[in-house]
A = this chain, B = another copy of it.
Amino acid sequence: MTAELKNDRFLRALLREPVDVTPVWMMRQAGRYLPEYRYTRAKAGGFLSLCKNPELACEVTLQPLERYRLDAAILFSDILTIPDAMGLGLYFEQGEGPRFRKTIRTEADVAELTVPDAATDLDYVMAAVKEIRSALAGRVPLIGFSGSPWTLATYMVEGGSTKDFRYIKQMMYSTPEVMHALLDKLAQSVIAYLNEQIFSGAQAVQIFDTWGGVLSGPLFQEFSLRYMKQIVDGLIREREGRRVPVILFTKNGGQWLEVLADTGANAVGLDWTTNIDDARRRIGDRVALQGNMDPSTLYAPAERIRAEVADILARFGSGSGHVFNLGHGIHQFVDPEAVKVFVDAVHELSARYH
């Protein structure tokens, strides 16, 4: 588990330390666009069974590293493991998003929830982290992750995916104290969960705030950002003699980069609607930036993919502090060959900036 790290570009860039080329990974890099992933998922008996099987979760985590020269691995798991461990009964239906058997709508519902014991209630996640670290053998660092409290709460209150966020916004506006009680329990749970991932071997962590962007600025700060800051404050920041960087990623959060950078996180993830040169001007003196090519660019011809990579690298400019990524998870219909073009382009075209 403590094999020497052979490629630490990703960790160095997150800490804005010098690197030879810009590191790159992709959100959802172990996913449906890879035929070998679809094979393993079928073998596991579905997505959730795959998440709960440490051996197969390890297998799919490593699959994209076999194909591409990625600079980090990310734990294969789901963002909704915490509410599942709280007893909400996560399940997936064919062609649908995630669903919960039980929803959280009232003060009594929130009062009944208990913070899971990460080591025991989420032991399958920790087993996967350990197995992946061991299998990586120091090749690249392993990223752990969690959903943000606000994002987890949206699924718990709505009972699954939603487009209009009806019930959670009702709760937020009508009984803000209940909303805060739920978010506080979730923040405590995420702290324990991520720290246990770090103890188990995660070398950096990312908080996915997928739905922070559906709030107004003031309500984003009150109901999402505040709890992400609580998490950042509660995390173990050094382990195995190295710093453990924290990345915050709020989808559609381009208007709130300054307050995201003020949380004390090491890096802020950008979706593709923000120009990375503007982002660097705004917060690049305080944090590293991660992103931000539109995942749909991977549908383009090779030359166009390379041109988009070149444009983003030029916009970021010289020096460290950039982890290349897509601005959101890779789409399932992308050709695996296009990913190779993308990853190689980042390394090849970024050398001149370092």
Contact = CB atoms under 8 A, between A and B. Distances in A.
Contact of A296 (B173, B252, B304, B311): B173
Contacts of A296: 164-166, 169-170, 173
Interface of A: 164-166, 169-170, 173-174, 213-220, 252, 254-255, 272-275, 294, 296-297, 299-301, 304, 311, 331, 333
A249 B222 CA distance: 27
A216 B272 contact: yes
17 contacts: A164-B296, A164-B331, A166-B296, A169-B294, A170-B296, A173-B296, A173-B297, A173-B301, A173-B304, A174-B300, A174-B301, A213-B273, A215-B294, A216-B294, A219-B294, A252-B273, A255-B273
Nearest to A252: B252
A181 B87 CA distance: 54
B299 A331 contact: no
Given A254-B255, A294-B216, A331-B164, A173 B299 contact: yes
B255 A274 contact: yes
B217 A273 contact: yes
Counting every copy of the chain, the complex holds 2
A333 B272 CA distance: 32
Name the prevailing secondary structure of the A interface residues: helix
B173 A300 contact: yes
B217 A275 contact: yes
Contacts of A301: 173-174
A299 B174 contact: yes
Contacts of A169: 294, 296-297, 299
Contacts of A213: 273
Q: Among the interface residues A170, A173, A254, A300, which one has the most CB atoms of the partner chain B within 10 A? A: A173
A170 B273 contact: no
A220 B271 CA distance: 14
Given A170-B299, A216-B275, 16 more contacts: A165-B296, A173-B296, A173-B301, A174-B300, A174-B301, A174-B304, A214-B273, A215-B273, A215-B294, A216-B272, A216-B273, A217-B275, A219-B294, A220-B273, A254-B254, A255-B255
